[in-house]
Amino acid sequence: TVGAYGEEAAIAYFGTNAHIRCLGEFSDVFQEVSCGKAKYGIVPIENSSTGAIGSVYDLFGEYDCKIAGEYVLKINHSLMACEGADIDGITDVYSHTQGFEQCAEFLKKYPHLNLIPYHNTAVSAKYVSECGDKTKAAIASKRAAQIYNLKILAENINSNYNNYTRFVVISKSDCTHEKADKVSVMLRLAHKKGQLGMLMRHFDEYGVNLLKIESRPIPDRSWEYSFFIDFEANLNNPKMKGLTDKLRSDSEAFCVLGNYKSA
């Protein structure tokens, strides 16, 4: 949606001359890329304050998409409403769930507010603007307030001033950059004692810095998980083939999601 943080990240990453289409749901982005209607997509995958965005990790298991790059955007949320509105008169606030989570401390000061999850921050701002109802407000960016002609009631309301969101650029095909220094993999392990520990030892064996490990539930397999791992490496280095071969052999399923330049 025009005015969303994702659109801002896309403009920063691809430049102002890129043809950027705004979609309503993260799944829509994966669908467009997967079926070839878009060459690239950009989606948020984690926030420095609230952690991983699980639904995006899950979509990598549903669609055949790779990671071609990443961009880190500083996020500053604002509370906004129509002209003439004030905080005391607001009853309903619209935003993405991440917006509410990242502004939890501010929202605690106003327990009367009814928090209504919406598609994303920009759609929330657009909806409030179109309603023209002074009892409704949105949590979104200052840019969204300007686009949808809303009055900012409070700025920088996120609990953590150092609030950043990491976006990943997705594509249909592998796009290894010659200066790539980061790898993302997705794997599934046998549900046996010591499997994850055995896998982790390979990173130490090859002297590789492990950046992140995230687990997500496997549908229809209670208490079993897929793992998403980020580590520092360039897979063009012949030594790294030994590492990926061992990771693959120790996994029930293994996929390199991308080897790209870190933000």
Which of 165, 203, 231, 244 is flagged as catalytic? 165
Residue among 26, 100, 167, 228 flagged as catalytic = 167
- Whether 167 sits among the annotated catalytic residues: the reply is yes
| Distance (Å, whole) CA 55 – CA 43 | 11
Helix (H) or strand (E) holding 52: strand 51-52
* Local structure of 76: helix, strand or coil: coil
**231 classed as catalytic:** no
The 40-47 sheet, strands edge to edge:
51-52, 40-47, 164-171, 66-74
Task: Say if CB 184 and CB 77 are below 8 A apart.
Answer: no
Q: Is beta strand 114-117 parallel, antiparallel or unpaired with respect to 92-95?
A: parallel
Question: Is the separation of the CB atoms in 160 and 49 below 8 Å?
Answer: yes
SS3 263: coil
221-232 β-sheet, strand order: 210-218, 221-232, 182-188, 253-260
Q: Which two tokens stand for residue 217?
A: 């539930």
For the annotated catalytic residues, the residue numbers are 165, 167
